Structure 1
Amino acid sequence: MEERLQKVLANAGVASRRKCEELITAGKVMVNGEVVSELGVKADPTKDIITVSGKAIKKEAKVYIMFNKPKGVITSVSDPQGRSVVTDYLKEIKERLYPVGRLDYDSEGLLLMTNDGDLAHKLMHPSHHVPKTYHATVERVPHGNALEKLQNGIKLEDGVTAPAEVEYHDIDPEKKFATISITIHEGRNRQVRRMFDAIHHPVTRLKRISFGGLVLGNLQRGKNRRLTAEEVSKLMESVAEVAIVPGTATAETAED
């Protein structure tokens, strides 16, 4: 797939995107034997021969990783405050990976990591309504009519939520807490927590157990594994039917 040349170079590890733009305007980049000195040119790194100062860039293989993010880890590739980030747990993987969407600092569970920018963008775009399922442990036990409000859509400060799939997963015998399984198809900022706040049952623990057909299963906290070819195919199929119109809204960055 064709992408802007500076992005292709940055993804190949040549330099930062801004530095790659400088290399292009300086006439140091060639595509299929021709010098490219203007920004905006696109290239396909899987088909085109791209060189920088006479050296061919490496063609990075697409990598898809399921990671079980622990609580207290930042969903980012770096943190100016020096806190633990998700890529700290993926140092054995040579390719540069980026998280698809986010789990906030206090949340845990399934996080998809990849260097496939096109698939990541489609999975995060609201037009595809990618399902995300969480186990939310909340204070006390919500009555059935409270859960019905979540199922039907509940008013938050940024609008009414889309209908959710909600059911009891576990209930404390002393009724001090309950774990609710909730599936949403949106990606608003801290959405699940705000939904339960709205019915007066604050979340004390939040774990994502599935995303777009992927299931966390028994993958241990802090561990990762590569997706199977079948899992990657299913992800691609799930976002293949809806075409994204340039300029349309994108999903929020923090999904829970």
Structure 2
Amino acid sequence: MKRERLDKVLANMGFGTRKEVKQLVKQGRITVDGTTATDPGMHVIPEEQEISVDDEPLTYKRWIYVMLNKPPGVISATEDARHETVVDLLPYEWATKVHPVGRLDIDTEGLLLLTNDGQLSHNLLSPKKKVDKEYFARIEGRVTEQHVQAFAKGVELEDFTTLPARLEILSSGDVSEIKVTIMEGKFHQVKRMFAAFGLQVIYLKRIRMGSLHLDESLEPGEYRELTEEELDALRGRER
């Protein structure tokens, strides 16, 4: 296990800046294995040693993996001057450390993974990995088998031609309901693909990313940590 500075560990867990943590140490409010800490720079193994603040033992987690059902009106960023961000929906001790894996448009709902595991994030987003992303959408206009075939070949947009996508028609009419699976995640991609055929996406929700499926018990704005099974499946994508 890696040894780390006590002030860095506590700062990463949301107990303030290193300067503020030093004040906690100075006030005698931090103990390590039952002994009052006197040096904020002391090295600890947070996974193995008991660290307490105000006599409350801490549960240290080096890596955080959170599934969020992103609501509309919230942006996929860690900070923004005008809009609420996805990390604003999380507890402080998570919000200060994680980042969203990819982005959903401000009006798009659904599955968003947030983590501080940069390697996993990179591998899920790398174009070489071709991690598929599945969406449910309502489309203004009739979606037909011709669109299914066109998506399967790749849709030519102004600046690029998409990789082949899988389009499933759930219902077709004045408002059609569909599922679409793409392997890229370019800006407004799903909306632009339908717009290329004169169709407008009026509702969009991501329901899957690779092996990770949205937990339908999560209401918009709700979140939970990934299960070990979900995490193992995602890591399997890394190898």
Which string of whole-angstrom CA distances, capped at 9 and with x for unpartnered residues, describes residues 57-102 of structure 1?
A: 8675211111000011011111122x11111211265462110000
Q: C-alpha separation between the residues in 1 aligned to 2:222 and 2:93?
A: 12
1:138-149 equivalences under 5 Å are 138-149=139-150
1:201-240 equivalences under 5 Å are 201-218=199-216, 219-240=218-239
Offset at 1:177? 0.5
TM-score, normalising length: structure 2: 0.74
1:57-96 equivalences under 5 Å are 60-81=61-82, 83-91=83-91, 93-94=93-94, 96=97
Secondary structure (helix, strand or coil) at the match of 1:128 reads: coil
1:54 aligns with 2:55: no
Q: C-alpha separation between the residues in 2 aligned to 1:131 and 1:89?
A: 26
Secondary structure (helix, strand or coil) at the match of 2:128 reads: helix
Secondary structure (helix, strand or coil) at the match of 1:156 reads: coil
Amino-acid identity (%):
39
TM-score, normalising length: structure 1: 0.69
User: Once superposed, what is the RMSD of the aligned Cα atoms?
Assistant: 2.9
What is the count of residue pairs matched by the alignment?
197
Offset at 1:204? 0.7
1:1-256 equivalences under 5 Å are 13=12, 54-56=41-43, 60-81=61-82, 83-91=83-91, 93-94=93-94, 96-171=97-172, 175-218=173-216, 219-240=218-239
Q: C-alpha separation between the residues in 1 aligned to 2:187 and 2:125?
A: 13
Q: C-alpha separation between the residues in 1 aligned to 2:61 and 2:228?
A: 17
Uncovered stretches (5+) of structure 1, i.e. residues with no partner: 3-8, 15-19, 21-51, 241-256
Q: C-alpha separation between the residues in 2 aligned to 1:110 and 1:169?
A: 20
Uncovered stretches (5+) of structure 2, i.e. residues with no partner: 3-7, 19-38, 47-59
> Residue 134 of structure 1 contacts residue 181 of structure 1 at CA under 8 Å; is this kept in 2?
yes
Offset at 1:105? 0.6
